[in-house]
A = this chain, B = another copy of it.
Amino acid sequence: MVVIPFQKGSNAERSRFRNRQAVLEQVRTAGTIGRAEIARALSLTTQTVSNIIAELSADGMLLEKGRLTAGRGLPAIQYSLNPEGGYALGIEVRPDAVFAALLDMAGRAIHTERVALKETHPDMVLGHVSALYAKALLKVPAATGRMLGAGVVMPGPFGVTGIAGMGSDLIGWQEVDATALFTQSLGLPVVLSNDANAAATAEHLNGMAQDMSTFAYLYFGAGLGLGLIHKGQLVRGAFGNAGEIGHVPIPPQNQKLEDALSRLSVQRHLQAANKQADSIDELTHLFDQSDPDILAWLGTATTALSHAVMIVENLFDPETIVLGGAMPDAFLDHLINNVTLPDLSVSNRPSPRHPRLMRGTSGRMTATLGAAAMILNRALSAPISNTH
């Protein structure tokens, strides 16, 4: 894979690179599509698209899918992405474990694995990550030589922020250039981000938000994170720490949002009642039994969610807010069905195209899959250009 660095000026070669990506994006979003249609969508000539498709086919990125007869004229040869044309590695580093997933270009998880982590110092983590990568390649030999890159998800905040130690930051990672370390260790292009951004990217690529270019993702991790995609691009902030919505104080007690709305919050609540449910399955089980403590927690969580929605909708005006992450489906559905949607919001429209809240991917691997999705997204979408 040729990696072209960010350049401000354009020339023929950079145009071609851009057009290649744009063609891939068209094919991805359409599923299967012919050259002429791509050409129209991109304002290019069919000849140009033909040239690019020939190249992509030769590279094994596209598959020919026969001709589609649609009305008059020569039926168009259809193309679709070759799922085996490229692979992306997703890595999620948590304080107690490392997760890995290998996705094919269609976004399917071909292989997943986790290892427990005794300590989080970089050497330790990098060793595990390399081993996981090697194992994935062993399990999926077809991916050798076709790796598009690795997405890495780590607990933020990134960089030196003065609130180190207050959050969930990993010990030993405050002062290092994590991207460089992973790049060197894996020998792959690396994209680093937090769990919420990764999950949002996955939702954009393969999930509920495929047809939206501007949406928000409320990610339930240990705390509560916010992933923002605006005009197809992640909003990461100046230092990569945007989306820390969990820190925001909410009425009436001025508590932090994530004190009421996060996995740690449920677990603390259960603990106070001398109960325990560390896994998603256990939580689901309690919910299915209508456990009163779970229901009580969901009550306060619902109120908290309403505040979060108020903030996110009025600040971002998203098409929707997707809820996902390491929470049981049942919890997310309950929250969505019972929350009071604020009236005083720019998202309060008479006939919205999408519900204001939707449930996205959930489960333990959400962020890991999202990490890989960031790589796929990069490979399969055209750099945005001109908002003028």
Checking B241, B311, B314 against A317 with a beta-carbon cut-off of 8 angstroms, the contacting residue is B241
Determine whether A272 belongs to the interface, using a CB cutoff of 8 Å to chain B. no
- Residues 221-254 of chain A, each 1 if its beta carbon lies under 8 Å from chain B, else 0: 0000010001101011111111111011111101
A384 adjacent to chain B (CB < 8 Å): yes
* Docked CA distance A345–B251 (Å): 18
Contact between A43 and B317, CB atoms less than 8 A apart: no
Chain B residues near A248 (CB-CB < 8 A):
310-311, 314-315
> B383, A383: Cβ atoms under 8 Å?
no
> Is B317 touching A42 in the complex (CB atoms < 8 A)?
no
Q: Is there a chain B Cβ closer than 8 Å to A318's Cβ? A: yes
**Number of identical protomers:** 2
Asked if B160 contacts A350 (CB within 8 A), the reply is: yes
Q: Of residues 275 to 302 in A, which have CB atoms within 8 Å of B's CB atoms? A: none
Cβ of A212 within 8 Å of any chain B Cβ, yes or no, is yes
Q: List residues of chain B with CB within 8 A of the CB of A251.
A: 249-252, 254
- Bound-state Cα–Cα, A254 to B306, Å: 13
The answer to whether A348 touches B162, judged by C-beta atoms less than 8 angstroms apart, is yes
Q: Known A6-B385, A212-B238, A213-B238; judge A243-B315 contact (CB<8 A).
A: yes
Q: Could you list some 17 contacts between A and B, CB below 8 A?
A: A4-B386, A8-B382, A9-B44, A9-B48, A10-B14, A10-B385, A11-B15, A12-B12, A215-B238, A231-B233, A238-B319, A241-B317, A243-B315, A244-B315, A244-B345, A247-B346, A384-B385
Q: Provide the residues of chain B in CB contact with A235, threshold 8 Å.
A: 230, 235, 316
| A155 close to chain B: CB less than 8 A | no
3 shortest A-B CB distances, which residue pairs? A237-B317, A9-B42, A9-B44
A245-B314, A245-B315, A344-B163 given; A7·B239 CB < 8 A: no
Residue A334 lies at the interface, judged by CB distance under 8 Å to chain B: no
Contact: A163 with B318, CB < 8 Å?
Answer: no
- Are A237 and B9 interface neighbours, CB within 8 A? no
A269 contacts partner chain B, Cβ-Cβ < 8 Å: no
Query: Within residues 15 to 67 of chain A, which ones have a CB less than 8 A from any CB in chain B?
Result: 15, 18-19, 22, 41-44, 48
Interface residue? A157 (CB, 8 A): yes
Given A242-B316, A384-B387, 10 more pairs with CB closer than 8 A: A18-B386, A162-B349, A163-B344, A214-B237, A231-B233, A237-B316, A239-B317, A241-B317, A244-B317, A378-B388
Please tell me if A175 contacts chain B, counting CB pairs below 8 Å: no
Is there a chain B Cβ closer than 8 Å to A70's Cβ?
no
Give the number of residues in A that approach B within 8 Å (Cβ atoms): 79
Please measure, in the bound complex, the distance between the C-alpha atom of A314 and the C-alpha atom of B384, giving whole angstroms: 26
* A202 CB, nearest partner CB in chain B, Å: 17
Cβ–Cβ < 8 Å partners of A215 in chain B = 238
Chain B, residue nearest A22 (CB) = B8
Residue in chain B with minimal CB distance to A164? B350
Q: Is A256 an interface residue, CB under 8 A from the partner?
A: yes
Given A163-B348, A166-B344, A318-B237, A19 contacting B12 (CB threshold 8 A): no
Find A9's partner among B43, B346, B378, B383 (CB 8 Å cutoff): B43
Residues in B neighbouring A10, C-beta threshold 8 A: 10, 14-15, 18-19, 385
Nearest chain-B residue to A306 (Cβ)? B249
